[in-house]
Amino acid sequence: MGLADDDGRSDIDILCLNMTYPLVPDEIVEFARDKDRVLILEEGNPAYMEQQALCFIVDAGLSTRIDGKNYLPEVSEYTGEVLASGLGRYFTENGGNILDLETVRERMERMERVRAAAGALMEAPLPPRQPIFCTGCPERPVFGAIKLAEREVGKVHVSADIGCHAFATFAPFNQGNSILGYGLSLASMAAVTPMQERRSLAIMGDGSFWHNGLQTGVASNLYNKGDGVLIIMNNGYTSTTGQQVIPSSKHSEIFGTGAKIATKLEALGVKRLKTVRTYSVEMMVKTLKEAFTTTQKGLKVIIADGEFMLARQRREWSEKAKVLKEGRRVEQAKFGVDAEVCTGDHSCIRLSGCPSLGVRANPDPLRKDPIAEVKQDCMACGLCGEMAHAAVLYPSFYRAARIHNAGWFERRLHGLRSRVIAAMAGV
Ligand code: SF4
């Protein structure tokens, strides 16, 4: 609207509340003291802040007028357009000539034109999609493993936590029966465990472990002689909010070389503790089955260890780009589906839900079912192959290597192989 610069310096006084509960009466009153009107932008319903602010203003004997939901929607998200239209009406009615409404209208129309142009480029409307893990996410294999383990031990109560792993509550995993707060999965699991036929499972991220889970979850479980299985997703940073450093990050400035989750758990007295690489689906299934069925009482912790493929590839590719520039050899993994082996039952997609797995028409004219395919945005995490192996599916996935700047031996070998294959194929 042209009322603020790129750094947020605004022509209009703004009180931005990072903590909204409890509200600080003096803070609100001081902000409102020299103003005729204050507009409260409060996403959500009911309008708690608006009502409370009104009470503070009246108690302080001020005559400042408070507006909010009378200009902005009661429910739903405050997107740019929603705010622009609400603020536009507010300033027109109350702000005199503070705003050049013609410019605002032009900008909104331009936004609409860009959106319409982008829509016209699509061949068909985008299908609705639910939130899901990123391609190459190290948490996807763990939920695939839980699914496979449940085939043998039966359905277990999954106490979920705040973080990316909450996406597992959606299809194709459907795992997350309760969710309470950041780092509270194990603590909240204590409430349902006594009612469960089987041992329950709590999921926690490494960020939530340090934030809260170590104390309210692990220490409390041990103190109360609890039982159950806890999976800690250890990828080295807080993922949901953008890879912030946590105490166990390798480059953590707070703890030097990085505090170890396993060391803390052992020091607290966790007896059964195992670290498993997240992408080793078979090992994860085995560990889970043991944890669910052992007669040994007490907390069983599995640290699911795995760096996010996207972060790893970003790091490795900047190194590889340098090597490539120098004309040296670089190997790049590529995954694919063998069209002749794929049966077209799509179990791999249902088990992993990887967004890089799609379907395409079957090249065999005698078979109608579309076959699975690995798309170009694949992160080469290898999960689809691991999953197919652990779930005893048809071995249709292959791993190939694209070699840049191959040496003379590799070129000759490639030539020889190509000739042998061509001869065998009769071409
Ligand atoms: S290797 Fe398979 S599971 Fe991993 S990103 Fe590629 S398609 Fe997805």
* Fold: same for 139-307 and 310-425: no
Give nearest CA residue, ligand 1 atom 6.
Answer: 378
Q: What is the Å distance from ligand 1's center to 401 Cα?
A: 15
User: Can you give the pLDDT at residue 415?
Assistant: 94
CA-nearest of 69, 68, 81 to 110 is: 81
Q: Residue 163's Cα: distance from chain center in Å?
A: 7
User: Can you give the pLDDT at residue 252?
Assistant: 60
User: Can you give the pLDDT at residue 427?
Assistant: 77
CA-nearest of 379, 376, 417, 372 to 395 is: 372
The ligand 1 atom at the shortest distance from the C-alpha of residue 354 is 8
Q: Would you say the CB of residue 353 lies under 6 angstroms from ligand 1?
A: no
Amino acid residing at 386: E
Q: Would you say the CB of residue 380 lies under 6 angstroms from ligand 1?
A: yes
User: Can you give the pLDDT at residue 253?
Assistant: 60
Q: What is the Å distance from ligand 1's center to 377 Cα?
A: 9
Q: Would you say the CB of residue 383 lies under 6 angstroms from ligand 1?
A: yes
Which residue ranges make up each domain of the chain? Answer: 25-121, 139-307, 310-425
The ligand 1 atom at the shortest distance from the C-alpha of residue 135 is 5
Give nearest CA residue, ligand 1 atom 2.
Answer: 384
Cα separations in angstroms, 66 against 35, 55, 93, 216 = 10, 10, 14, 40
Mapping DSSP onto H, E and C, the string for the chain reads CCCECCCCCECCCCCCCCCCCCCCHHHHHHHHCCCCEEECCCCCCCCHHHHHHHHHHHHCCCCCEEECCCCCCCCCCCCHHHHHHHHHHHHHHHCCCCCCHHHHHHHHHHHHHHHHHHHHHCCCCCCCCCCCCCCCCCHHHHHHHHHHHHHHHCCCCEEECCCHHHHHHCCCCCCCCEECCCCCHHHHHHHHHHHCCCCCEEEEEHHHHHHHHHHHHHHHHHHCCCCEEEEEEECCEECCCCCEECCCCCCCCCCCCCCCHHHHHHHHCCCEEEEEECCCHHHHHHHHHHHHHCCCCCEEEEEEECCCHHHHHHHHHHHHHHHHHCCCCEEEEEEEECCCCCCCCCHHHHHHCCCCEEEECCCCCCCCCCEEEECCCCCCCCHHHHHHHHCCCCCCEEEEEEEECCCHHHHHHHHHHHHHHHHHHCC
User: Can you give the pLDDT at residue 92?
Assistant: 84
Question: For residues 17-51, b (16+ Cβ closer than 10 Å) or e, as one string?
Answer: eeeeeeeeeeebbebbeeeeebbbbbeeeebebbe
Q: What is the Å distance from ligand 1's center to 197 Cα?
A: 35
Q: What is the Å distance from ligand 1's center to 374 Cα?
A: 7
Query: What's the rounded Cα separation, in Å, for the pair 191 and 221?
Result: 11
Q: Would you say the CB of residue 352 lies under 6 angstroms from ligand 1?
A: yes
Q: What is the pairing mode between strands 299-305 and 228-234? A: parallel
Cβ–Cβ < 8 Å for 74, 45? yes
Cβ–Cβ < 8 Å for 397, 388? yes
The ligand 1 atom at the shortest distance from the C-alpha of residue 383 is 3
Residue 267: Cβ within 10 Å count: 9
Query: The domain 310-425: what is its CATH number?
Result: 3.30.70.20
Q: Would you say the CB of residue 348 lies under 6 angstroms from ligand 1?
A: no
User: Can you give the pLDDT at residue 256?
Assistant: 56
Q: What is the Å distance from ligand 1's center to 379 Cα?
A: 6
Q: Would you say the CB of residue 356 lies under 6 angstroms from ligand 1?
A: yes
Q: Output the six-digit token pair for 331.
A: 């190997």
Q: What is the Å distance from ligand 1's center to 145 Cα?
A: 15
Q: Would you say the CB of residue 281 lies under 6 angstroms from ligand 1?
A: no
Q: Would you say the CB of residue 135 lies under 6 angstroms from ligand 1?
A: yes
Query: What's the rounded Cα separation, in Å, for the pair 218 and 209?
Result: 9
pLDDT digits (tens, 9 = 90+) for 317-370: 888 889 988 999 999 888 999 988 888 888 888 888 899 999 999 998 888 889
Q: Would you say the CB of residue 374 lies under 6 angstroms from ligand 1?
A: yes
User: Can you give the pLDDT at residue 290?
Assistant: 97
Q: What is the Å distance from ligand 1's center to 356 Cα?
A: 6
pTM of the model as a whole: 0.74
Helix 281-293 vs helix 383-390: crossing angle, to nearest 10:
50
Q: Residue 390's Cα: distance from chain center in Å?
A: 24
User: Can you give the pLDDT at residue 37?
Assistant: 95
Query: What's the rounded Cα separation, in Å, for the pair 28 and 81?
Result: 27
The ligand 1 atom at the shortest distance from the C-alpha of residue 136 is 5
Class of domain 139-307: alpha beta
Query: What's the rounded Cα separation, in Å, for the pair 390 and 382?
Result: 12
User: Can you give the pLDDT at residue 350?
Assistant: 85
Torsion of CA 68, 73, 74, 80, to 10 degrees: -90
User: Can you give the pLDDT at residue 345?
Assistant: 84
Q: Cβ contacts of residue 179 below 8 Å, gap of 6+?
A: 159, 160, 161, 162, 166, 169, 185
The burial of 85, by beta-carbon neighbours within 10 Å (0-12 exposed, 13-18 middle, 19 or more buried), is given as: middle
Cβ–Cβ < 8 Å for 235, 308? yes
The one-digit pLDDT tens for each residue of the chain (427 residues) are 778 888 889 888 999 998 888 999 999 999 999 999 999 999 988 999 999 999 999 999 999 999 999 999 999 899 888 998 898 889 888 876 777 778 878 888 888 899 899 888 988 887 888 888 988 899 999 999 999 999 999 999 999 999 888 999 998 899 999 998 899 999 999 999 889 999 999 999 999 999 999 999 999 999 999 999 999 999 887 877 777 788 888 766 665 556 789 999 999 999 999 999 999 999 999 999 999 999 999 999 999 998 878 778 887 888 888 998 899 999 988 899 998 888 888 888 888 889 999 999 999 888 888 999 999 889 888 888 888 888 777 778 888 888 999 999 999 999 999 999 999 988 7
The ligand 1 atom at the shortest distance from the C-alpha of residue 378 is 6
Q: Would you say the CB of residue 351 lies under 6 angstroms from ligand 1?
A: no
Q: Would you say the CB of residue 136 lies under 6 angstroms from ligand 1?
A: yes
